[in-house]
Structure 1
Amino acid sequence: MLRIGVLGCGRIGRMHAANIAAHPRTKLAAVYDVNRAAADEVAAMLGVSALASADAMFDTSDVDAVLIATATDTHVDYIERAVAAGKPVLCEKPIDLDLKRVDRCAANIRGTKLPIMIGFVRRFDPGHAAVRAAIHSGELGELHQVIITSRDPGMAPAAYIRVSGGIFRDMTIHDFDMARFMLGEEPVEVFATGSRLVDPGLMAETNDWDTVTVVLNTASGKQCIINNSRRAVYGYDQRVEAFGFAGMAISENRRAHEARLYAEGLTDRAQPYLHFFIERYREAFNAEIDDFVDAIESGRQPSVVFEDGRLALVLAEAAMKSVAERRVVRTSEIGGGNV
C-alpha cells in the first residue's frame, strides 16, 4: 500500500484525501492544512493524523508520496521540497501562475527520476480517453479539428476569482491540456477573445473574462476550438469532439442515469448533468491515482508530467496576450519550447 500524504484540506484536498483512503492500492498517511480546523476535520473523518506543519509531511518516513492541493502560490515550493525529500509528487494544476517561476522550478528539479505528476484529471475520463484512442488508432482518418466545450454551472465565489489568476490560467488550462492530449501536436498559434457577460462588474474589477473562445492551430494546420463560460444554468457542461477525414468521435456529458421520459407534451426529458467536477470526473480521479501508483511502482514517469503543466500554462499566457492585443499570438513569443 502506497502511503500518500495530502497537503491542503480545501474542497479538492478533502476529495483527494477521501479517494486515497478508499483506494485499494493506497493508504492515506496524514493531512496538513494552514487552516488547522480544516485539517483536523478531515483527519477525524478519515482516521489519520493532522500534521502540525508542511515540514512534518516531508520529514516523516511514514509518508511515501505527497499530493499537493494547496493554494497555487505554494505549489512550486512544495514540489521542490518533495523532490529534495525523495518523495514522488502529484500536484494539482496549475503549477504556478508565473511562467518564469515554473521555469525556475523545472531547472531546480531537472535530473530527478522521481515521478512528478500534474493533476490534469480529464485525460483519465473514460469518454475523453476513448475519443483520443479513436484518433490515435486511425479510425477518424487524419484529424482536422478538435472542439472542446467547458462551462461551469455557476460563478465561483468572488474571493476565489480574485486570486485565481484569471479564467485562462484557472479554468481554460484544463482545456489547453485536453487540446494537446487530443491533437498529438503542439499548438503554435493562439487566438482568443473574451467577454464579460455573466458578472460584468466582478470581471471588470479583476480584469478577467467570464465567457471566452480560443482557437489553436498546429504547424500542420490542425485546429482546436475551445469555448468556456463561467455559468451554464443547465449544469456542468463538458464535451469533447474530434473530427477527421474519415469520421467523428464525441465524448458527451454525464448524468446520474440515462433514462429518458416521453409523454404528452414532452419528449426526451432526462436527468440533469452531474453537478460539478468532483461528481463528473469521479472515475477519472480514481484512474489518476492508479496511474500515479503505477508510475511509482514501475519506475516510469506518470502519464501527465511537469512539462505538460508548463506547456498548458504557455498556452494560457498566449491566450491572455491575444485577448489583450487582439491578435494571433505564436507560442514561441511566450516560451513554447521545452525547458
Structure 2
Amino acid sequence: MIDTALFGAGRIGKIHAANLARLPDMRLKYVVDSHAPAARELAAVHGAEACSAEQALDDPAVRAVVIASSTDTHAELILAAAARGKAIFCEKPVDLELERARQCARAVATAGVPCLIGFQRRYDPTFAALKARLAAGEIGAPEMLIVTSRDPGAPPLDYIRRSGGIFKDMLIHDFDICRWILDDEVVSVHASASALSDPAIAAAGDADSTAVTLRTRQGRLCQINTSRRAAYGYDQRFEVLGSRGMLQAGNHRPTEVTAYGERAVAADLPEPFFLERYRQAYAAEMAHFLEVMRDGAAPRTTVEDGVRALELADAATRSWRLGRVVELDQV
C-alpha cells in the first residue's frame, strides 16, 4: 500500500482524492490545506487525517504527494518532496516563474524521484486515441495542428490577478498539446490577445481571447485560438492535418442522442466545464501515477514537460506585449 499526502482540498483536490480512493494500492493518509475546515472535511470523506504540511512531508511512511494547492505553493512543495525522496504528482503550472520551474526540474533530477505534471489532456481517451493513430502513420507526417480551447466563462477577477496571465493559466495546456501531438519542439511564437468579454480583465492586465501561431524545428505549424467566453459550453477540440489526410478530435457531450425534427436536428451542448469533460482523464492520470510508483513505468507527463510548456507561455506573453514574433532562444 502506497501512503499518499494530498495538498489542496479545493475542487481539483477533491477529484484527485476520489480517484486515489478508487486505486487498490494507494491510500490517502493526509490532507493538507491552508483552510483547515476544508482539509478536515475532505479527510473525513476518505478516512484520512488533516494535518500540517510539515507533518505530511516528514512522515517516512508517505511515499507520494499529490499537489493540488494554489500555484504559488507548487514549487516549494515540489522541492520539499524531492528533498525527502517522495514521488510527486503536481498540477500545472510548475511555477509562474521560469527559473523557479527549472530549479524544480533540477531538484527532481538530483533526487531521482518521479515528478508528473497534471497535463490531463494527454490521458483523455479521445485525444490519446488520435495520438495513437497519428503515431501509427494513418495520415502520414503531421504538418499542421489547429487547437480550439474555449471556457464557458472567465474566472473571478481575484483569480485572474494572481493567475500569471491567460497564457500561463489557460494556454499552458494547449502548448503541451502542441508539443505532444506534433512530437517536435517550438522555435518561434507569435501571440495576439484581447479582452473582449469584460473590460475589468484588461484593467487587471490580462486578456480573455487569444490567437497564437507556433512554428516547430521541422517547420510544422500550430494555431491555437482560445476564449474565456463560450455561451454554449466547454469547447475542446483539435485537428491534425497530415501528408495523407486529417484526424479530428471533437467535443464531448453529456449524451450522444441526436433528435431529428421537421425544422432542425438537435444534439446536446458540449460538457459544461473541465471537471466533466476530463473526468476520465483525471482518473487515468492518477492510475498512471500508481503505475509509475508500483511498476516503474516511465512518466508520460514529466516536470520537463511542465518547464517546456511554461517556456512557451512566457514566449507568448512576451510576443503579445511586444507585438512581434519571439524566437525561443530569446526567452
Aligned residue for 2:30? 30
Question: How far 1:66 sits from its partner (Å)?
Answer: 0.5
- Map of 1:219 onto structure 2: 217
Match of 2:17 in 1: 17
Q: Is the 8 A contact 2:94 2:307 kept in 1?
A: yes
Give 1:318 shift.
Answer: 0.5
State the percentage of identical aligned residues: 46
Kindly provide the amino acid, as one letter, of the partner of residue 203 in structure 2.
Answer: E
Aligned position for 1:196: 195
Root-mean-square deviation (CA, aligned residues, Å) is 1.2
Match of 1:146 in 2: 145
In structure 1, how many angstroms separate the alpha carbons of the residues matched to 2:26 and 2:54?
A: 22
> How far did residue 3 of structure 1 move?
2.3
Structure 2 equivalent of residue 259 of structure 1: 257
Whether 1:276 and 2:254 are equivalent positions in the alignment is no
Partner of 2:291: 294
2:89 and 2:5 map into 1 onto residues whose CA distance is 10
> What is the SS of the residue equivalent to 1:65?
strand
Question: Per the alignment, do residues 87 and 186 of structure 1 end up closer, same or farther by CA in structure 2, a change over 3 Å counting?
Answer: same
Residue 195 of structure 2 corresponds to residue 178 of structure 1: no
Q: Distance in 2 between matches of 1:44 and 1:126?
A: 32
User: What pairs up with 1:101-250 in 2 under 5 angstroms?
Assistant: 101-200=100-199, 202-250=200-248
- 23-32 or 152-161, which moves further after superposition? 23-32
Distance of 1:290 and 1:217 partners within structure 2: 33
Query: In 1, distance between residues paired with 2:132 and 2:298?
Result: 20
Aligned counterparts of 2:251 and 2:125: Cα–Cα separation in 1: 12
| Aligned equivalents of 1:76, 1:285: Cα separation in 2 | 21
Q: More deviation in 70-79 or 164-173?
A: 70-79
1:28 & 1:59 partners in 2: Cα distance? 16
Is the CA contact 2:108–2:114 (under 8 Å) kept in the aligned structure 1?
A: no
Equivalent in the alignment of 1:71: 70
Q: Quick one: which amino acid aligns to residue 8 of structure 1?
A: G
Counterpart code for 1:264 = E
1:314 aligned partner:
311
CA distance in 1, matches of 2:3, 2:229: 38
Number of paired residues?
331
Looking at structure 2, the residues matched to 40 and 191 of structure 1 have their Cα atoms a distance apart, in angstroms, of 46
Aligned AA for 1:325? L
The equivalent residue for 1:337 is none
The separation in 2 between residues aligned to 1:198 and 1:42, in whole angstroms, is 35
The Cα shift of 1:2 comes to 2.5
Structure 1 runs not aligned, ≥5 long: 335-339
Distance of 2:319 and 2:326 partners within structure 1: 6
Shift of 1:225: 0.6
Is the Cα–Cα contact under 8 Å of residues 88 and 115 in structure 1 kept in the other structure? yes
Whole-Å separation in 2 of the counterparts to 1:138 and 1:264: 42
Shift of residue 300, structure 1, vs aligned partner: 4.1
User: Is residue 324 of structure 1 aligned with residue 302 of structure 2?
Assistant: no
| Deviations 1:272-317, CA, capped at 9 Å, x for gaps | 2111111101111111012111111233441111110000000000
| CA shift for structure 1 position 332 | 1.2
1:84-112 Cα distance to aligned partner (Å, 9 max, x none): 11110000000000001112223333322
Q: What do the CA deviations read for 1:310-337 (whole angstroms, capped 9, x no partner)?
A: 0000000000111111111111111xxx
CA separation in 1, counterparts of 2:154 and 2:25?
36
Residues 291 and 257 of structure 1, relative CA distance in 2, 3 Å threshold: same
Q: Secondary structure at the match of 2:287?
A: helix
> Which moves more between the two structures, 290-299 or 241-250?
290-299
TM-score, normalised to structure 1's length? 0.95
Are the aligned partners of 2:253 and 2:271 in contact in 1 as well (CA < 8 Å)? Answer: yes
In 1, Cα distance between the equivalents of 2:239 and 2:75?
33
Contact 2:233 2:269 in 1 (8 A): yes
Residue identity opposite 2:293 in structure 1: I
Kindly indicate whether the alpha-carbon contact (under 8 Å) linking 1:23 and 1:286 is maintained by their aligned counterparts in 2: no
Are the aligned partners of 1:131 and 1:242 in contact in 2 as well (CA < 8 Å)? no
Q: Distance in 2 between matches of 1:330 and 1:14?
A: 39
Q: In 2, Cα distance between the equivalents of 1:303 and 1:43?
A: 29
Could you tell me which runs of 5 or more consecutive residues in structure 2 were left unpaired when the two chains were aligned.
none
The residue type paired with residue 38 of structure 1 is A
Asked if 1:7 is matched to 2:7, the reply is yes
More displaced 10-residue stretch of structure 1: 299-308 or 66-75: 299-308
- Determine the C-alpha separation between the residues in 2 that align with 1:322 and 1:6: 36
Q: Which moved more, 1:135-144 or 1:86-95?
A: 135-144
Residue by residue over 1:119-145, the C-alpha shift from the partner in whole angstroms, topping out at 9 and shown as x without a partner, is 101000011111111221111111111
Deviation at 1:256, TM superposition (A): 1.4
Is the contact made by 1:216 and 1:224 (CA closer than 8 Å) also made in structure 2? yes
Q: Secondary structure at the match of 1:141?
A: coil
Deviation of the 1:29 alpha carbon: 1.6
In structure 2, C-alpha distance between the alignment counterparts of 1:170 and 1:287, rounded to whole Å? 22
